[in-house]
Chain A
Amino acid sequence: MGETLATTASLEEVIQDDGPPEPAILCQGLRKSFGSTHAVRGVDLQIHRGECYGLLGPNGAGKTTTVEILEGLQEPDEGRVRILGMEWGRDGRAIRRRLGIQLQEAQLTERLQVEEAIRLFRSFYPSGPQVEDLLDQVQLQDKRSTYVRDLSGGQRQRLSVACALAGAPDILFLDEPTTGLDPQSRRALWDIIEEFQDSGGTILLTTHFMDEAERLADRVGIMDHGRILVEGPPTQLIRTLGGAHIVEFQPSRRMELRELRRLPGVENVRTRGELYLITCEELHLTLPALVEQTREQEIRMLSLTTHRATLDDVFLARTGRQLRDE
């Protein structure tokens, strides 16, 4: 269901290729069920070294299960995983030393101070930055003696990322790192993530925020019902909608889709309930024409908004649902 924009070579092909180094993350045919719930239904991924890959989708799409399989925290029912050319069953410890993991729900000990928590995690890795540098990295120097339970949501997440960075990882896994954070905290966290990216690190990020994916990810995969529906760089995915802008309006009575498609600059027209969505390349041509047409037909506009096309629109176009409905 759904073609992937990036071509996915078979696992063997990729491994046998002795040119460039093996991808940071490679998996093929992942499946995982919990009882009668099919959480992951055939996921293939190939994430290159130094790439930031965003796994997008609504809650329950299977993102966390997929990521936890890649992190070696869950076993797939089917499928193969290779991390930095190694496999979980054989090289578990060696892989762990090169991963930094931030889990969605997992907690740090409440009665530990920030610096103590970082020191604990640093002690698990044979090499990595100094505790002082990590505190500096996530800007928690003046919170070093604060108990974890007294931190704000944003500070907790930054601490969580600091613990993930404690072993100077090659790959950083971030599972919904900014969910529940205020805009300022989100931006602070993005800065930290981008810094890791700039220094050449590989990132696998899950999120249900499209703006987050658009800002951070080099490539995104949109996931729903345990499958990756489409995959590609954010701009490229948005371009598949056929236009850079979306005009969303609710007319007082039904309109002919055919007529709307004939308006200047229109790439695509869809409806969603009472709403009409027009995708267009040049808003300054399409919008006046639309307003003119409704006036001629004596149709009133109950609502009218426009926005630049986003990954939200890509998801909507693919599934007919909005990302954050759930």
Chain B
Amino acid sequence: MMSSWPGPAGSYGMSDPGALRQLTVTRVRVMLREPEIIFWVFAFPIFLAMGLGLAFSDPTPDVLVVGVEAGSEAERYLAHMPARDELRFQILPADETVDALRRGEVALVLSGDDGAVTFLFDPTRADGRTARALADGALQEAGGGTRPVTVRSQEVEQQGHRYIDWLIPGIIGFNLMSTGLWGVGFYVTQSRQNLQLKRLVATPMPRGYFLLAQILARFFFLIGEVPLLVLFAWLAFDVQLEGSPVALAVVVLVGAACFSGLGLLACSRARTTEGVSGIINVIIMPMVVLSGVFFSPTRFPDALQPLIQILPLTALNNALRKVYNDGLPLSATLGDLALLLVWTLLAFFMALRFFRWK
């Protein structure tokens, strides 16, 4: 028999810290029990990486495109080069050569001055080496063969200049954004809509715990989400994590907290899942375009740059690429992380302030 209820008032001190743990565990359980959500969180980013990776990294193209820097030493030889079926030359402005190489648009860049031609290529790319050998032959022929044309080889200094190398951190950033916003925003709105939230509010549950639990539950999913993508990128496309895994983990955690916080803010007033979907799309869409998920934001006009640079996804992608592609230490990302933390705190406390509990 129950002797413990309805007990006298007793002592009502601090609320059980187990409440935060229970709320977090509940959120994780509910999510793990929704197969369709598992697909969007874990499988979709891998499909995305696979599709884009395959589309942009055909290993044996029939025709190798060689970029020729406009106004360089190499351009002088261009007219004299013999026609070759497997080589096509394309003149590029000086400031676009590296980007073209990075995006895989060209296999090799020819430039140079003072009588010497420079070969710029990525040593990790098979097509780069092939193109260099072919282009060297064509160049010597163009030079007349009496005196060899002086050539210098310059390997692109940083590793990971393929498009797929650049893309993978962008996909991680994109995934952190979309799962943060959708995972938190949609679930919380659904809880409000079907009155689960109302039931929780009728208890002494600290309300901040409920919001915090959404962010903590997101962290749990990162354990599977990000390593899976890193592993896949390495196995399928040989994308190397240049920096330390710890630095990557820190950046990922800060990014996930930021977008879970924004997810809370997005759903703070929404009454229906339709309503919150619209809000989330309005947040996601501009950042997908502007923040350098699929292509570099430097392409946008200078006037837009101040806006682009304060977007959370821009900061996250910058930090991810510094660690992932450039192998920089965490200290190099502090500016980006600080911006993300500002966004996180702003979003969390605004959500707490404006949240519709009933």
Contacts and interface: CB of A to CB of B under 8 A. Distances in A.
Interface of A: 71-74, 93-94, 96-99, 101, 103, 105-109, 111-112, 116, 119-121, 123-129, 133, 137, 163, 165, 167-170, 172, 195-196, 199-202
Nearest to B19: A123
Instruction: Name A's interface SS.
Output: loop
B195 A106 contact: yes
B130 interface: no
Contacts of B153: none
5 smallest A-B Cβ distances: which pairs? A168-B5, A96-B204, A106-B199, A123-B22, A106-B195
B358 interface: yes
A112 B202 contact: no
Given A106-B198, A126-B16, A168 B203 contact: no
Interface string B1-41: 01011110111111110110111001001100110000000
Interface residues of B, number: 36
Contacts of B12: 94, 97, 126-127
Nearest to B205: A124
B34 to A, nearest CB: 7
B194 interface: yes
A73 B34 CA distance: 30
A165 B5 contact: yes
Contact of A97 (B2, B191, B195, B204): B204
B57 to A, nearest CB: 40
23 contacts: A73-B198, A73-B202, A93-B204, A96-B204, A99-B202, A101-B202, A103-B195, A107-B195, A107-B199, A111-B33, A124-B15, A126-B13, A126-B15, A133-B2, A133-B4, A165-B5, A167-B204, A168-B6, A168-B7, A195-B2, A196-B5, A199-B2, A199-B5
Nearest to B194: A107
Contacts of B15: 124-126
A269 B80 CA distance: 120
B203 A73 contact: no
B22 A127 contact: no
Contacts of B4: 127-129, 133, 168
B30 A71 contact: no
Contacts of A99: 202
Contacts of B2: 129, 133, 137, 195, 199
B201 interface: yes
